[in-house]
């Protein structure tokens, strides 16, 4: 697997522990920068699955990836990633995983009901991370948010599919491509261009099943490193594309804006 270096901070405060103290300030600063205000209390009774983090035990990445590969052939990419993690946690932990409606997320297939937007594997991974770790509203470390961005960035740069199952339906090697995008259309399109296989070919399907497996593997690596207090943060304050582009964006502007990237209106400075 394309391993990210994980540092073990055994002496002194870990970055995560440090952030437990500094996080409130950091969050306030971020929120102030974006000018966000949170004046409204929750409109109704808080759901009983809205206690975070959800209990998590470390999972085996290979086992998880094999499950995702298998589940792809039942409920496709997004559902497969969610199922690969949650079916294990249903057995090892129980609630709230037992109740969570995994199969409803089948629609993530094909970048949301075949619209080619966010790759369902990425969407599924973000859902898992945020369900387990909770929203950044309540988690001053914004860990679910950060793991989401980590997954998307890793996906953009990975030679995909990274993971090869023990008993693949398509024997032997299949082409690998680097999407440079978290989008289904771009990721699958680049692979189809290299492989010259159509969308409904067994090879394309197996490529996407292996991609879901690859994302599940990486997701569990990140969740395990969070559980072990070994998560290596990206640069503080650099976990949102907003600061680089002045607009919600993915990194490869030129891919779509071939004829020149429009300049975003200048962001307003936060009040002193």
Residues 239-268 that bind a second copy (CB under 8 A): 239-242, 246-250, 255-256, 258-259, 262, 264-268
Q: Is the dihedral of CA 9, 226, 15, 182 positive or negative?
A: positive
Tokens of 98: 């037992």
Q: Is 18 in the site for a second copy (CB under 8 A)?
A: no
Of 4 and 241, which has the nearer Cβ to a second copy?
A: 241
Q: Is 238 in the site for a second copy (CB under 8 A)?
A: no
Q: Report how far residue 58's alpha carbon sits from residue 268's, in angstroms, rounded to the nearest whole number.
A: 43
Q: In angstroms, what is the minimal distance from the CB of 8 to a second copy?
A: 26
Site string for a second copy, 134-163 (x = CB under 8 A): xxxxx-----xx--xx--x-----------
Q: In angstroms, what is the minimal distance from the CB of 156 to a second copy?
A: 10
Residues 73-112 that bind a second copy (CB under 8 A): 73-75, 79, 83, 87-88, 90-91, 96-107, 110-112
Helices (H), the chain: 15-33, 61-92, 120-133, 143-157, 184-195, 202-227, 242-245, 253-256
Q: Is the dihedral of CA 99, 139, 67, 170 positive or negative?
A: positive
From 7-15, 20-28, 122-130, 214-222, span contacting a second copy (CB under 8 A): 122-130
With CA atoms as reference, report the closest residue to 57 among 85, 98, 20. Answer: 85
Q: Is 179 in the site for a second copy (CB under 8 A)?
A: no
Q: Is 113 in the site for a second copy (CB under 8 A)?
A: yes
Q: For a second copy, how many residues bind (rule: CB under 8 A)? A: 102
- CA angle at 101 for the pair 95 and 106, rounded to the nearest 5°: 145
Residues 193-222 that bind a second copy (CB under 8 A): 193, 196-202, 205
Phi, psi of 231 (to 5 degrees): -70, 125
């Amino acid at each position: 697997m394309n391993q990210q270096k994980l540092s073990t901070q055994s002496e002194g405060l870990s970055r995560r522990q440090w952030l437990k103290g500094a996080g409130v300030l950091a969050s306030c600063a971020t929120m102030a920068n974006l000018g966000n205000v949170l004046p409204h209390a929750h409109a109704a009774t808080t759901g009983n699955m809205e206690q975070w983090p959800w209990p998590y035990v470390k999972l085996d990445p290979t086992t998880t990836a094999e499950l995702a590969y298998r589940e792809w052939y039942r409920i496709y990419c997004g559902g497969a990633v969610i199922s690969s993690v949650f079916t294990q946690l249903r057995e090892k932990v129980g609630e709230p995983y037992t109740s969570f409606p995994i199969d409803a997320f089948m629609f993530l297939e094909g970048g949301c009901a075949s619209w080619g937007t966010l790759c369902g594997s990425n969407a599924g991974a973000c859902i898992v991370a945020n369900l387990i770790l909770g929203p950044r509203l309540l988690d001053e470390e914004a860990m679910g948010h950060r793991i989401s961005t980590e997954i998307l960035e890793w996906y953009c740069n990975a030679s995909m599919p990274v993971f090869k199952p023990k008993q693949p339906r398509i024997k032997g090697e299949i082409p690998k491509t680097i999407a440079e995008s978290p989008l289904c259309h771009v990721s699958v399109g680049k692979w189809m261009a290299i492989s010259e296989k159509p969308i409904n070919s067994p090879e394309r399907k197996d490529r996407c099943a292996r991609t879901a497996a690859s994302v599940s593997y990486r997701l569990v690596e990140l969740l395990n490193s969070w559980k072990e207090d070994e998560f290596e943060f990206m640069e503080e304050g650099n976990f949102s594309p907003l600061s680089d582009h002045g607009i919600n964006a993915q990194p490869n502007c030129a891919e779509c804006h071939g004829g020149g990237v429009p300049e975003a209106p200048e962001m307003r400075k936060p009040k002193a």
